[in-house]
Structure 1
């Protein structure tokens, strides 16, 4: 009998540590990577020929990024690594992939999904104007193209990533006009007992805020976005917001980076028929896993930010755990002491995650009360008013029903960027709990495929 085939999706922190653990156990995994090179989004590598030092590119996470990159360089020749390959469907215990216009399907004995996360966004009036980016897109511009998204940038939203990206821009010499945080400063004090679970990370975050202040960046807490000012022809020219005291202020800028924490990329888990549960803390649906990362589907494992957003080091730990779970289920066993240490670390990181969710709260009411003229779904051009109309006039009180009647979430992103805010609008307008609204069902392909794609046999 041959060696079991283990397929990993994602070459970020979780995927790399997962592959490393499997190699140490004597197995050669297949690693599917949508990116050009390893590292994922958080440790995205700069292009060949770029020479910016790690400290400038990754800030406080420079040593971790360098260690992950060097680890992958050592193990790359020992694994079946497939970069620039999109995993677009899971069906009949096969992972369907496409590269360079050629589609094929991989059989697997174990499938470990480490797809990472994307920005969690809330629409704001005017966010469709050119010059409005997600925090992740702002990072990509800086890391992969060595450029700023604008000459005068405002970062708006909440969560640690807001301050990290702003700091990276300051480090790179870009002009950051302001950081606008929707969460109240007092919320961080209330969350302190849980945040102290990872004092080293808390200290780094405080240092980022201090560095931004020393750089002269305007800092606001407890704001409410009002409008991104601009025109279809000229793009963004300013952002208008309400301060914690209720005063309306405006800051001139030509680009805005937005983000409210991250949301796990769960589409592949959905297509694999994994069970989900509603997480009341973060007000979103997440895949169910056990302590090691086993999903509800035998042979399918979930790790990293694609199931719980714990940060890069949390993803590394989860990747190791998922690899051990697969090894145990394949009869390869694992050392109890190693597993116990990994599980203890994961519990500590999960406590910190809860603290972050409390300190940087998802502003549900901001989404629910968006003005009718606000564009909710940019792909399909659906406004908050149109979404409310199908709720009031046609009785759409469930996410997929509202999608069918309004087309919200039917576009290129398949609801990645509008789905969470749309659910808040539906729940508010229908006067039902958010959990009752449900979630948008995953559809294949998870990302668009070229019409000229040719199917091949693997």
Structure 2
């Protein structure tokens, strides 16, 4: 027996957090609406390939194959028997109170709900380096998606650079698929990584798995590097210039570069829904403010990496907790969250240790030359951004209005964090004092035809 339409719950995102939230709600007799950008449920971490794709789950997901298959099966079963109102390939563009607007395969569609669970996940956190705007420079996540979804390596001679577990994971996956990797460049020093190790030992099996992956990278892996620039021609990258931990200069030939410094929470919808944000010094980014269950308001709940960067395991736990909070606020029977909260504490300790071991390259970002492009969408350089600070003041939205940083297609997803560092450095203030860019709808590009149809 399902609840009435007056109790409608909408979940945005069908990754590990969204799937577990939907599962618990279904068990309580609720038929949630799930809106997801993916072709199939699974999220980025457990992204599924097209029909007929030959590679088995063990090759796609490695040691996580069983967990991925279990999540896929749970969600597919709920959809098959009509327990979930599922909208794949659909992107939520705007949130205002109980009203959501989404772009679906059949056009723009309006949804209403009494309660909203945002499980929007995360995306690559990128830092600008000279030459990164060239075609053929991708995020680590893009390289991983191409490999998972199509079995494609995006270059014939690849350089991967950045820091964090994703760097090691993507490198290992590409090598296993037969790709030619020229170098793996980690801006975090071994000293930083060892400093984070004690905290990471709350999950020893995961640490061991990471160390085994790192060992397979061998001489390709370099820690404590400084990235100087990417040289390109009309076809894309031709060389990465970098310095090792001893400050010795290297030039590595390549035709593709993958960049990424762990993850940044996808929070645009949370902002439109009215969430308050706090600047998290550990993660060097703005994160939504909620209680331990993920409750941001009596009707609004957040789960997964869009709330806390905890990875796939943490997303499953957070999805359950958000659903429990939702059921409790509806006055319905719900599981005891105690065990999930204890597990969440352990996962958060591990995540904080990861952040310490693989820090955001603050000094590298602040020292980029004036001619370095910071906002790839609008072509805004570091020099133009610094000049806007002088002319207009040290506030992110004021700098945006003068220099157009964050006004492009990605709406600041790639440039906001780096821009805040440059504002902070130029003005001599803390990053948190530079403020956060205001979220604006639509949060994704929308075909103009959808508006013309209304007119």
TM-score bracket for the superposition, by shorter chain length:
over 0.9
**What is the match of residue 125 of structure 1?**
130
- Partners of 1:69 and 1:411 lie apart in 2 by 34
CA contact (8 A) 1:101 1:453 kept: no
Deviates more, 1:173-182 or 1:99-108: 99-108
- Please report how far the alpha carbon of residue 455 of structure 1 lies from its aligned counterpart in structure 2 after TM superposition: 9.0
**Is the contact between residue 117 and residue 322 of structure 2 (CA under 8 Å) also seen in structure 1?**
yes
Q: 1:320 maps to what in 2?
A: 320
Task: Give the corresponding residue for 1:311.
Answer: 311
Match of 1:420? 417
1:163 corresponds to which of 139, 143, 168: 168
Say which of 207, 213, 216 aligns to 2:212. 207
TM-score, normalized by length of structure 1? 0.96
**For 2:100, what is the secondary structure of its paired residue?**
strand
CA drift at 1:109 = 1.3
CA distance in 1, matches of 2:442, 2:143: 26
Residue in 1 that maps onto 2:366? 368
Contact residue 137 and residue 256 of structure 2 kept, 8 A: yes
How far off its partner does 1:142 sit? 0.7
In the alignment, structure 1 residue 262 sits paired with structure 2 residue 263: yes
Q: Which is worse superposed, 448-457 or 247-256?
A: 448-457
**In 2: Cα distance, 1:68 partner to 1:366 partner:** 39
Mapped contact 1:58–1:168 kept (Cα < 8 A): no
Q: Which moved more, 1:156-165 or 1:275-284?
A: 275-284
CA distance in 1, matches of 2:61, 2:370: 40
Measure the CA separation in 2 of the matches of 1:92 and 1:14.
22
Match of 1:224 among 226, 250, 274: 226
* Displacement over 4 Å in runs of 4+: 454-457
Partner of 2:65: 62
Shift of 1:186: 1.3
Instruction: Report what 1:23 is aligned to.
Output: 26
| Structure 2: 5+ residue stretches without partners | none
Contact 1:37-1:45 at 8 Å conserved across structures: yes
- CA RMSD, aligned part only? 1.4
CA contact (8 A) 1:101 1:452 kept: no
Q: Which residue of 2 aligns with 1:401?
A: 398
For the residues of structure 1 that align with 2:428 and 2:106, how far apart are their CA atoms?
46
The 3-state SS of whatever aligns with 1:389 is helix
Structure 1: runs of 5 or more not aligned? none
C-alpha deviations, 1:50-88, integer Å up to 9, x for none?
A: 020112111222222122112222222221000011111
**Is 1:197 paired with 2:202?**
yes
CA contact 1:101–1:450 (8 Å) conserved in 2: no
CA contact (8 A) 2:394 2:427 kept: yes
Q: Per-residue CA shift, 1:196-216, capped at 9, x if unaligned? A: 111111111111111222xxx
Please report how far the alpha carbon of residue 234 of structure 1 lies from its aligned counterpart in structure 2 after TM superposition: 2.3
CA distance in 2, matches of 1:65, 1:176: 27
1:278 aligns with 279
Q: Are the equivalent residues in 1 in contact too, given 2:392–2:402 (CA < 8 A)?
A: no
Equivalent-residue separation in structure 1 for 2:167 and 2:18 (angstroms)? 25
Aligned position for 1:39? 42
Matches within 5 A, 1:51-130: 51-77=54-80, 78-100=83-105, 102-130=107-135
- 1:433 to 2:430 alignment: yes
TM superposition score normalised by structure 2: 0.96
Paired residues of 1:183 and 1:359 also in contact (CA < 8 A): yes
- For 1:413, what is the secondary structure of its paired residue? coil
Counterpart of 1:410 in structure 2 is: 407
